[in-house]
Structure 1
């Protein structure tokens, strides 16, 4: 009775395959389309090439994966572990911890040390009929390791040395500078680059085709620009947009505006219109304080984020084809001052007006 207590409940008369299919259908797309093998990882050719060789030699070093969010760091090490150990040995050979939640020295001394010191069990025959390398060591994955305290990282250093024969560590972080040098020096470093637009679009198209969601190239471009190289975020936006589209009868097609609304970014039309009022486009300049103040009030009434608006306006000005380098450098200083003020808690409307007036003066 106790042994079956934690098993998932199955409805009477419903086949197991049907239950599993329903669970898969209800999964978030980020988990559903997480790479199953390292060959499925997008746009990280150098890292995949090195790890592919470790699969043949099974001689895995301690590793440090770092790079921006959503670039495939956690997915890569999980896929590698599955290819090394197979489904039967994965649970007993792999310990995955999120260091942002369990980051104290007590976790290192108790949970991590206890798992690291256990000798791996002998390789079992895989239930799926496939043969896996199953090397004689375990893997401990510390996600968001840059959130660990200095004391916890120092304690981890000794554990990595003592149990290196039977345990390998993989530290996953966004900021490699927050990992203490003695710990980083014991690991092979792998930098994960932000995904290029082509790789992101290709992966999003694959997900859309698998889910039978019609998307246009304009929608894919908007997903790529709104996520800024974060594939996890772009897949989440696509799933939210598909649910919004399917909520009507008949389903309405997904538009770039829908993606921008879901992503919380300011629509391109609003940013371009604001830039024209500020005189960024010399052909449609509107001079005068009253016009600018009225436009700022109109934008604030719409409830847009000040930091998001200034970020998009900054990108538009810096990439503008007709503005000179002098104009752009003046505007960049204005945005830097505004960013510092907003981080310190300044009033959003006043600083948007301040930026608007200074940009107007810089572009005139």
Structure 2
């Protein structure tokens, strides 16, 4: 077991990034298909879509490491389209890499992260580049929403849809890293990390490192404090008060989360959405609550006051059941 003091100056997300496809967790079907491409050395253009922290970037880099071994850095170009989203990036950096000479391999890989941030003109230029250099270059595109990728690019790629990781996969990985780092933890602490991560492995590992940095045992108190996440029972108590018609109590619970705990309105909306079906309410009230959640979320996203919208949500619930 490692000394708990060792490696604390490292970023664990990078330290424990999968080195091989076999180490990518939670997507067995996807990995099996990609491994067959790698084994045959017959990689098509790939499009990975799905939420953040589900293994898209890790899978892309693992493909390069398996194909090229120690030479992978020279044959793998990674670009982030959200930072470099103009058409010049496609015309210059991508084309220069695709044109440059290399030996020993049939093709090189260009990984374009957050490709859905590319402008439509840049995507059109990318489509033409994919056609022009298809003999010696393979593209791996990563995005949160495949609907933002133009159809001509989608039709040229094998599409893989990464879903949020299940709780068991996240918990298992957290326990493995904690054991490797010599971190003491409780089962409730692991459950809290899984809850706060919500299927995002990167968020879970970052939260584990932050909680472990206190030098104490990683328990649920440390996790909820570090991640600025409301406990599920706090959300339940706030909504239950509204359902019971006690708006002042529900509003006091909301004030506690915003003022004392520092939670953002969007985070509270997300936790409410995850918890709706855990409340002991009939289907009609659950549907009404979902409708009001959607309305509040939209208004907050367009710049409305978070507190006003959340109070209006709780008031609507209180009035609905009154």
From 283, 286, 306, give the equivalent of 1:348.
306
Matched, 1:183 2:156: no
Structure 1 unaligned regions, length at least 5: 1-21, 124-134, 247-251, 280-284
Count residues in correspondence.
Answer: 317
Report the Cα distance in structure 1 between the residues aligned to 2:208 and 2:156, rounded to whole angstroms: 39
Question: Hey, what does 2:169 align to over in structure 1?
Answer: 199
Note the 1:1-364 alignment, pairs <5 A. 26-87=9-70, 89-121=71-103, 123=104, 135-244=105-214, 246=215, 252-279=216-243, 285=244, 290-292=248-250, 294-302=252-260, 303-320=262-279, 322-364=280-322
Report the Cα distance in structure 2 between the residues aligned to 1:69 and 1:46, rounded to whole angstroms: 19
SS at match of 1:61: coil
Report the Cα distance in structure 2 between the residues aligned to 1:348 and 1:193, rounded to whole angstroms: 29
* TM-score, normalization by structure 2: 0.90
* TM-score, normalization by structure 1: 0.81
Report the Cα distance in structure 2 between the residues aligned to 1:50 and 1:295, rounded to whole angstroms: 48
Larger radius of gyration: 1
Report the Cα distance in structure 2 between the residues aligned to 1:23 and 1:82, rounded to whole angstroms: 26
Report the Cα distance in structure 1 between the residues aligned to 2:75 and 2:273, rounded to whole angstroms: 48
- Give 1:23 shift: 10
Report the Cα distance in structure 2 between the residues aligned to 1:28 and 1:356, rounded to whole angstroms: 40
- Give 1:288 shift: 5.2
Report the Cα distance in structure 1 between the residues aligned to 2:272 and 2:163, rounded to whole angstroms: 25
Q: Is the CA contact 1:331–1:362 (under 8 Å) kept in the aligned structure 2?
A: no
Structure 2 unaligned regions, length at least 5: none
- Give 1:209 shift: 0.6
- Give 1:339 shift: 2.0
Which of the pair has the greater relative contact order for Cα pairs under 8 Å at 6+ separation?
A: 2
Report the Cα distance in structure 2 between the residues aligned to 1:360 and 1:115, rounded to whole angstroms: 60
